[in-house]
């Protein structure tokens, strides 16, 4: 069997935190040989994996030799039962460790390299709805693992949001609950927050250029972030349940209905509602908010039939062509697909966007960039 050659490690320099986008880490880089787990630390270790307690197992970083053994075995035999993999592959590791190594590092379909700005947007947008459900978020990022998403969130995005005065847990404004420290230009939580959420796009537009903003200027002053009109109920976790959010506008609904009747889309769930955007994910597995990114084939499951894919592309292009702007994600009985449009009148998460000339401008320039 032929194993994939390792790419030549690129030279890289660690960037400053502000630049955040991940450093150009060589995906195949390995620490010094001497640092690999060289003992049988798992033996008799009360805190080790259950499966490790019965046998001698190595722990710590994997050596290239171990990687090769695992790759070779799984490529030929598949993993089957993970607990039997170590023995069959000739590894002194526990099954759990093998599984983790394969899933997070050795799988051939993993995407190597830094997380892109686009992927970052997706992570932020979905996290806003789902919270720390890393595995769910990772499903929207082909080739990325939950561990990777989680690490990126903790080491990068979280800091960016805080630097903008946004609570990374709720994505709401931090206002008085976070105190800005002029010395280090950072926001620190001082007590429980209770604020208005920002619009989807507001967050995205800031994130896309946060490095320069933070570097060259103090953190964004709150007034730059559009606030909810007085006529709206308070948007917070003590949120009024009287307000109902609807995912879909009549125009798109009609369009999809007509399309569904003559295509493979079938029983598309095209309407749902909730009292708060944060509940979108809980409403129904088949309909969730996941706005903020472009229609993309990358999130379309591979199992999709070619004709379905063509259909999706057609719908996406027609919607875009019609100049609609709306964020939405649908799942039909057969498959799911996502659109990126923003129509402020439809989606409260994005409803402030049109009311802010700053955001409108940011949107336009972002959209322009994305087109290029």
Residues near DNA (CB under 7 A) are 13-17, 20, 22-23, 25, 27, 29, 31-32, 35, 37, 42, 45, 47-52, 58-62, 80-84, 95-97, 99-101, 104-105, 114, 132-136, 146-148, 150-152, 154-156
Nearer to DNA, 27 or 275 (CB): 27
Nearest Cα residue to 268 out of 333, 203, 201, 357:
333
Nearest Cα residue to 111 out of 125, 127, 122:
122
Nearer to DNA, 56 or 314 (CB): 56
Nearer to DNA, 151 or 309 (CB): 151
Nearer to DNA, 52 or 319 (CB): 52
Nearest Cα residue to 268 out of 278, 277, 276, 259:
259
Helix axes 357-371, 200-208, angle to 10 degrees: 60
Minimum distance of DNA from residue 221's CB (angstroms): 23
Minimum distance of DNA from residue 326's CB (angstroms): 27
- For the chain, how far is it from start to end, CA to CA, in angstroms? 42
Nearer to DNA, 84 or 258 (CB): 84
- Whole-angstrom Cα distance, residue 353 to residue 355? 5
Nearer to DNA, 45 or 369 (CB): 45
Minimum distance of DNA from residue 60's CB (angstroms): 5
Nearer to DNA, 111 or 194 (CB): 111
Nearer to DNA, 60 or 233 (CB): 60
Nearer to DNA, 23 or 176 (CB): 23
Minimum distance of DNA from residue 128's CB (angstroms): 15
Structure tokens at 148: 């990777």
Structure tokens at 51: 């499966």
Minimum distance of DNA from residue 91's CB (angstroms): 11
Q: Strand pairing of 326-331 and 273-274?
A: unpaired
Minimum distance of DNA from residue 184's CB (angstroms): 10
Minimum distance of DNA from residue 294's CB (angstroms): 24
Nearest Cα residue to 297 out of 249, 244, 338, 251:
338
Minimum distance of DNA from residue 190's CB (angstroms): 20
CA torsion, ordered 311, 284, 243, 340, to nearest 10 deg: -30
Minimum distance of DNA from residue 134's CB (angstroms): 4
Helices (H), the chain: 50-53, 64-77, 85-89, 95-101, 117-130, 134-138, 146-152, 158-163, 200-208, 210-216, 250-261, 280-283, 306-321, 357-371
Minimum distance of DNA from residue 124's CB (angstroms): 15
Nearest Cα residue to 168 out of 146, 188, 148, 185:
188
- Whole-angstrom Cα distance, residue 309 to residue 335? 10
In sequence order, the 6+-apart residues with CB closer than 8 A to the CB of 323 are none
SS3 assignment, position 100: helix
Nearer to DNA, 3 or 17 (CB): 17
Nearest Cα residue to 71 out of 8, 1, 9:
1
């Amino acid at each position: 069997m032929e194993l994939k050659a390792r790419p030549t490690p690129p030279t890289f320099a660690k960037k400053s935190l502000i630049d955040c986008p991940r450093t150009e880490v060589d995906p195949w880089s390995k620490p010094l040989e001497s640092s690999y787990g060289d003992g049988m630390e798992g033996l008799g270790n009360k805190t080790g994996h259950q499966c490790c307690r019965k046998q001698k197992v190595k722990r710590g970083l994997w050596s290239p030799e171990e990687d090769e053994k695992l790759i070779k075995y799984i490529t030929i035999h598949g993993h089957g039962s993970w607990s039997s993999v170590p023995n069959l592959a000739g590894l002194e590791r526990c099954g759990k460790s093998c599984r983790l190594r394969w899933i997070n590092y050795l799988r051939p379909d993993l995407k190597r390299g830094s997380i892109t700005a686009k992927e970052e947007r997706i992570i932020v947008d979905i996290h806003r709805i789902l919270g720390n459900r890393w595995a769910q978020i990772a499903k929207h990022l082909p080739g990325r693992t939950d561990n990777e998403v989680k690490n990126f969130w903790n080491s990068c995005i979280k800091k960016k949001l805080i630097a903008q005065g946004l609570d990374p847990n709720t994505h709401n404004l931090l206002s008085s609950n976070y105190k800005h420290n002029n010395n280090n230009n950072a926001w620190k939580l001082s007590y429980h927050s209770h604020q208005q959420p920002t619009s989807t796009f507001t967050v995205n537009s800031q994130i896309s250029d946060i490095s320069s903003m933070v570097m060259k200027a103090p953190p964004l002053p709150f007034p730059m972030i559009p606030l909810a009109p007085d006529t709206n109920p308070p948007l917070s976790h003590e949120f009024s349940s009287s307000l109902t959010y609807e995912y879909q506008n009549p125009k798109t609904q009609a369009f999809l209905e007509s399309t569904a009747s003559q295509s493979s889309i079938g029983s598309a769930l095209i309407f749902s509602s909730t009292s708060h955007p944060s509940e979108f994910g809980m409403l129904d597995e088949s309909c969730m908010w996941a706005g903020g990114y472009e229609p993309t084939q990358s999130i379309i499951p591979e199992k999709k039939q070619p004709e379905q894919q063509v259909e999706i592309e057609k719908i996406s292009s027609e919607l875009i062509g019609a100049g609609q702007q709306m964020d939405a994600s649908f799942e039909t009985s057969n498959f799911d697909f996502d659109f990126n449009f923003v129509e402020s009148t439809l989606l409260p998460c994005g409803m402030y966007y049109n009311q802010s000339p700053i955001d409108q401008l940011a949107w336009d320039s972002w959209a322009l960039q994305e087109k290029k």
